[in-house]
């Protein structure tokens, strides 16, 4: 797990996503005397913002104009959502259900990398 120091804009705080340039993280690692480590998508990070530390993870590496950055997601994104209305919707009624069995297409597992 890598420690990442960041200053966030109000928009980044609300969205739960931070944009950290590669050179900023490398400078932080050099200053702390650590070897420079490149983060990969899915790596866990501890994001230090002001005096608080929150847990996050690297969503992707983004390159822009010859310089790149990490897109880091943090916080509980689902916890920030609020319901649109307070009225309960009626439960749907299911009638005339037909069940079909789909035959197996392949005997082995296939992995696709995008």
Angle, alpha carbons 14-73-54 (nearest 5°): 80
Between residues 31 and 84, which one has the greater pLDDT? 31
54 within 8 A of 47, measured Cβ to Cβ: yes
Domains identified in the chain and CATH numbers: 2-74 (2.40.240)
pTM above 0.85, yes or no: no
User: Which residues are within 8 A (CB) of 103 and not within 5 positions of it... i.e. 6 or more apart?
Assistant: none
For residue range 26-62, what is the model confidence (pLDDT) as tens digits?
A: 999 999 999 988 888 888 899 888 888 888 888 888 8
Among 88, 65, 72, residue whose Cα is nearest residue 4: 72
Query: φ and ψ at 107, to 5 degrees?
Result: -90, -20
How far, in Å, CA of 75 to CA of 77, rounded?
6
Q: Are strands 44-49 and 2-6 parallel, antiparallel or unpaired?
A: parallel
């Amino acid at each position: 797990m890598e420690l990442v120091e960041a200053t966030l804009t109000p928009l980044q705080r609300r969205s739960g996503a931070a944009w950290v340039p590669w050179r900023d993280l490398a400078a932080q690692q050099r200053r702390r005397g650590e070897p420079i480590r490149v983060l990969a998508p899915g790596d866990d990070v501890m994001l230090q913002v002001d005096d608080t530390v929150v847990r996050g993870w690297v969503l992707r590496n983004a390159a822009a104009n010859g310089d790149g950055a990490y897109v880091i997601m943090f916080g509980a994104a689902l916890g920030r959502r609020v319901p649109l209305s307070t009225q309960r919707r009626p439960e749907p009624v299911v009638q005339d259900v037909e069940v079909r069995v789909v035959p197996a297409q392949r005997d082995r597992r296939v992995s696709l990398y995008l």
